[in-house]
Amino acid sequence: MRKALALLAALAVSLGAMAGEITVGFAQLGAESMWRTANTDSIKGEAAKRGIKLIFSDAQQKQENQIKAIQSFIAQGVDVIGLPPVVNSGWEPVLREAQEAGIPVILADRTVDTSDDSLYVSFIGSNFIEEGRSAGKWLVRELKAKYGEARGEVFELVGTVGAAPAIDRKKGFEEVIAQYPGLNIVKSQSGDFTRAKGKEVMEAFIKSPEWEKAKTKIIYGHNDDMVLGAIQALEEAGVNPGQECLIIGVDAIADAFEAIAQGKMHCTVECNPLIGPQFYDMVEGIVAGKEIPKVVYSNEGTYDYYCAAALLPWRRSLY
Ligand code: GZL
């Protein structure tokens, strides 16, 4: 039965191709955050707008599910595969299967660790190291403005272990704060990019001796969803997040703008999820045989308490 279905699916793709229709297989990693939901909406919405046939799968943040999805796309003979790899290692075998089947792969959002970059056509997404640097630079400016010097104790909510945004947002942030001996990460733990786990990790941080000893409590989250979970934990512990802490997230989701407008958070660094148009420009370019750049970065900014309240309606309108 499964074989028959796979054959039927492959036939449908071939008939579509004969009619000039492009078919894309997109192995989405999950639905773990507001950012991811917006990213999925952009990938699905833009395909519909362009009349591109999209075969979409959700891996629930499991690499083995993404690998199975890619193998299914290969069996169906899609024209292009889109992959936001949940972690950056373990991809070479399945990327080689796609290469041998002559199906180009676009890394959409996150990158992979590989010595052979012929295994993918291009990476389209954000410069995560730059995002970490932006968070660090904003923090240093804010501490100097408040206290005359950059000092404090950072409680870090790390993204999914092994994921490129988690590794690189940490790297960029540490690169900036390394220049200030009085500014250090004193606790660091993964909240897997979700609100629920971000809350759990913050509950543990609050009970730690480091929290007791901290003079300037700084919370740096690799995404806003974990930060919003942490804010819930702080409030449940009787801590006033906006008054007693300095809180920075990444993604710039509308809920973070709202938390900043309410005085519960201070800054969020943008990471643009709406890469659908750029992604399908790349797909159409590949099908048309055009030269494709190896890396395409999204444009991004940083938003803090000076502007978030005024920009909230605009941000809500985006996603
Ligand atoms: C970043 C993306 C990250 C977001 C998180 O491009 O991979 O994954 O920052 C999401 O919100 O879970």
Q: Are residues 180 and 116 in the same domain?
A: no
Query: 6-20, 103-117, 134-148: which range is least confident on average?
Result: 6-20
CA of 200 to the centre of ligand 1 (A): 19
Task: Point out the ligand 1 atom lying closest to the alpha carbon of residue 34.
Answer: 11
pLDDT in tens, 145-187: 999 999 999 999 999 999 999 999 999 999 999 999 999 999 9
3-state secondary structure 80-144: EEEECCCCCCCCHHHHHHHHHCCCCEEEEECCCCCCCHHHCCEEEECCHHHHHHHHHHHHHHHHH
**What is the pTM assigned to this prediction?**
0.91
Q: Are residues 35 and 78 in the same domain?
A: yes
Q: Are residues 267 and 277 in the same domain?
A: no
Q: Judge if the beta carbon of residue 87 lies within 6 A of ligand 1.
A: no
In a domain, 283, yes or no: yes
Q: Judge if the beta carbon of residue 223 lies within 6 A of ligand 1.
A: yes
Q: Judge if the beta carbon of residue 270 lies within 6 A of ligand 1.
A: no
Q: What is the mean pLDDT of residues 52-70?
A: 98
In a domain, 116, yes or no: yes
pLDDT in tens, 65-103: 999 999 999 999 999 999 999 999 999 999 999 999 999
Q: Residue 22 above 90 pLDDT? A: yes
Local structure of 193: helix, strand or coil = coil
Residue nearest to atom 6 of ligand 1 (CA): 109
Q: Are residues 170 and 314 in the same domain?
A: yes
- Distance of alpha carbon 85 from alpha carbon 222, whole angstroms: 17
Q: What is the mean pLDDT of residues 104-121?
A: 96
In a domain, 25, yes or no: yes
Q: Are residues 67 and 174 in the same domain?
A: no
Local structure of 279: helix, strand or coil = helix
Q: Residue 4 above 90 pLDDT? A: no
- The whole-number pLDDT of residue 241 equals 98
Task: Point out the ligand 1 atom lying closest to the alpha carbon of residue 109.
Answer: 6
- The whole-number pLDDT of residue 57 equals 98
Task: Point out the ligand 1 atom lying closest to the alpha carbon of residue 160.
Answer: 12
Q: Residue 15 above 80 pLDDT? A: no
Q: Residue 11 above 90 pLDDT? A: no
In a domain, 294, yes or no: no
CA of 165 to the centre of ligand 1 (A): 7
- Distance of alpha carbon 149 from alpha carbon 144, whole angstroms: 4
Q: Are residues 40 and 89 in the same domain?
A: yes
Report whether 191 contacts 157 (CB < 8 A): yes
Q: Are residues 89 and 192 in the same domain?
A: no
Q: Judge if the beta carbon of residue 109 lies within 6 A of ligand 1.
A: yes
In a domain, 296, yes or no: no
In a domain, 151, yes or no: yes
In a domain, 295, yes or no: no
Q: Judge if the beta carbon of residue 32 lies within 6 A of ligand 1.
A: yes
Instruction: Choose the residue to mutate in 43, 126, 251, 299 for probing ligand 1, maximizing ligand atoms within 8 Å of C-beta.
Output: 251
Residue 269 CB burial class (10 angstroms; 0-12, 13-18, ≥19): buried
Q: Judge if the beta carbon of residue 197 lies within 6 A of ligand 1.
A: no
Q: Are residues 57 and 135 in the same domain?
A: no
Tokens of 250: 């990444």
User: Where would I find the beta strands (DSSP E) of the chain?
Assistant: 23-28, 53-58, 80-83, 105-109, 122-125, 152-158, 183-190, 217-221, 245-251, 267-270, 295-297, 302-304
Q: Whole-number mean pLDDT of the chain?
A: 94
Q: Are residues 134 and 122 in the same domain?
A: no
What's the CATH number where 226 sits?
3.40.50.2300
Q: Residue 195 above 90 pLDDT? A: yes
Report whether 52 contacts 285 (CB < 8 A): no
pLDDT band at 302 (very low <50, low <70, confident <90, very high): confident
Q: Are residues 144 and 229 in the same domain?
A: yes
Tokens of 108: 């959409």
Q: Residue 16 above 80 pLDDT? A: no
Q: Are residues 153 and 202 in the same domain?
A: yes
pLDDT band at 306 (very low <50, low <70, confident <90, very high): confident
- The whole-number pLDDT of residue 12 equals 64
- The whole-number pLDDT of residue 13 equals 65
pLDDT in tens, 226-273: 999 999 999 999 999 999 999 999 999 999 999 999 999 999 999 999
Structural domains in the chain (count): 2
Q: Are residues 26 and 78 in the same domain?
A: yes
Q: Judge if the beta carbon of residue 271 lies within 6 A of ligand 1.
A: yes
User: Could you list the residue range(s) of the whole structural domain that residue 314 is in?
Assistant: 128-271+303-318
The upper half-sphere exposure of residue 6, i.e. CA atoms within 13 Å in the direction of its Cβ, equals: 11
Task: Point out the ligand 1 atom lying closest to the alpha carbon of residue 32.
Answer: 12
Residue nearest to atom 3 of ligand 1 (CA): 165
In a domain, 297, yes or no: no
pLDDT band at 300 (very low <50, low <70, confident <90, very high): confident
